[in-house]
Structure formats: structure tokens, C-alpha cells
Amino acid sequence: MTLVLTLKVTPPQRLDLSVLLPHLLADKSSKDVAAIDLATTREKITVGDLFRIRAGSAEEIRFEGGSERFDGVGQGLQQGRIFVAGDAGINAGRQMTGGDLVISGNVGPYAGSAMTGGRLEILGNAGDFLGAPREGELNGMSGGLLVLRGAAGRRAGDRLRRGTILIEGDAGDWLGSRLIAGTLIVLGRVGVSPGYLMRRGTIVLAKPPALASTFVDCGQFASSFPAVFGRFLLPESRGAARLFRAPLRKFAGDMAVLGKGEIFVPA
């Protein structure tokens, strides 16, 4: 049985939910869980103050109701499953290494920031810096799968190093900025300068804007790679699978830096 946490009141302050992970709650009783402090200010606020708890195996945690103040949901997730029926704040799924995190609403900035494994799915929209590194970190997302059904803010996939980000909606300016490697797919419209200063890696755009002059046209692309990748993506997104089935044209860049990256657009 799933551990269910039903939101009773609007959170009076921003919360740190990174302490509510399956591996941290494995041996805890409902009473222990209720006593966990979620405060980010000097005002103490516990799980019991905010949520009605239905006991169950912490292998799957379900939040009934969310809030823009739910920070750090699934941050550091290692295994198991977390589902949020509602919105979440900053750092959702940040640094997760495994497991499955699904958020039905919108999330703030830095969702999936520096994640290295597992699967993060957001049904709503995301703020800026999807999958990006936080201050002082060298790498953004470096493994796993991030699926965003809605739209992303600016600089989604900043310093992506490995793994796959799939955005079904639109994406803001400077998509995939400073990309190191990995794969970034956008089915919707994209703001200015996608792949700004990307070194390696792959960006696939269904509706590309004008690319910067530091991207060079490599012509029609012939490889088994899109077909293989499209088949992998089919269970996640029919739209992405369709995009990979169509003929693609390759642009290489960003020639302002290493230039071994690629942006694929429909041919």
C-alpha cells in the first residue's frame, strides 16, 4: 500500500520536502513521519501539521495536493516512486539518481537539476533551468530521463551532459545552452538561440526557430540512430517517436566553441 500524504492547509512557508524519500522513510512509523520537520524558516512545521497521513509502504509516496511552495520534491530520490497530485516548487527531482517521480501540475525552476538517473515526468509546465546545474556546479543533468508534457522556461537543458530530456510543449530562449552531451528533444516552439555554446550532444527540434550563424548546415541525415531512438521513446511520447521517424536535417555547432554538437530539424 502506498503512503499517502493529503495536504490539509496551504503551506504557511516554503517547504523542504527532500526529506520525504522512500529510502529515508523505509523504517519509519506514521508517528515518526508525522514528526519530520519540513520548515525552511525558524517557524517549525512538521509533516503532521500539513498532511493527513495514510500509512503504507514508503516505496511509493503519494502527495494528494501540491503547492508552488513544495520545494525539493523527490530531491535525491534513489529508488521507489513519488507522485504529486498538484504543483511543486523549485528543485523538483534535483540530483535524483533513480526511481520514478511524477508531478501532475506545474513546477518551479531547476526541476531535474543535475539528476543522474531515474525518470522524472512533469505533466504541467516547468520554470527556467530545467535539468540545469545549480550555482557552482559544472554539470547539469547527467543521466536518466526527464519528460515535460508542458512548456519549459529559459535555458532548459543547460549544461546537459548525459541522459534524455523530452519537452512536449514549447521551450524558452537559449534552450540547451552550454550543452556538453546528451539528448534534448522539443516538440513545440523554441525561443531564440537554441544550443547556444553547445559543445557536443544532440538537440532535436520539431519547430525550429532561425538558428544562430554559428551552426552549419550538414544536409540530409542518414543513420539508423533516429529510428532506434524513436523506438525507445515510443512508450513515452508518440509525438517524439513521429518526429524521429521523419527525415531529418543536421546542423552542427556551436562553432563558437567545440562545434561537435548537432541540431536536428525536420528535413
Partner 1 sequence: MRTITKNGVRIDDTFAEAFPMRGTALILTGPNKRWARQAAVTMTGFATSVIGCGCEASIDGEVEARDTPDGRPGVRVLIFAMSSNDLQTQLVNRVGQCVLTSPGSACFSDLVAADALKVGDLLRYFGDGWQISKKFGNRHFWRVPVMDGEFLCEATTGFTKGAVGGGNLLICGADYEKTLRAAEAAVEAMNEVRDAIMPFPGGIVRSGSKVGSKYKALHASTNDAFCPSLRGMTKTALDDDIGCVLEIVIDGLTEAAVADATRAGLAAIIKLGPRNGARRVSAGNYGGKLGPFHFHLKDLLA
Contact positions toward partner 1, by CB under 8 A? 143, 145, 162-164, 181, 183, 200, 202, 221-225, 227-229, 231-232, 260, 262
CB atoms within 10 A of CB 9: 11
Q: How far is the CB of 33 from partner 1 (least distance, A)?
A: 32
- Cα dihedral 18, 73, 177, 139 in deg (nearest 10): 30
The C-alpha cell at 136 is: 557552482
Which residue, 93 or 144, is less far from partner 1 as judged by CB? 144
The C-alpha cell at 156 is: 532548459
Q: How far is the CB of 253 from partner 1 (least distance, A)?
A: 14
Q: How far is the CB of 228 from partner 1 (least distance, A)?
A: 5
Q: How far is the CB of 101 from partner 1 (least distance, A)?
A: 17
Which residue, 189 or 260, is less far from partner 1 as judged by CB? 260
Q: What's the alpha-carbon Rg for the chain, to the nearest Å?
A: 19
145: nearest Cα among 131, 125, 135, 129: 131
Which residue, 170 or 254, is less far from partner 1 as judged by CB? 254
d(CA 180, CA 191): 20
The C-alpha cell at 160 is: 546537459
Give the angle 132-69-130 at the CA atoms, nearest 5°: 15
Which residue, 45 or 221, is less far from partner 1 as judged by CB? 221
Which residue, 221 or 249, is less far from partner 1 as judged by CB? 221
Residue in the block written with cell 550538414: 218
Q: How far is the CB of 59 from partner 1 (least distance, A)?
A: 21
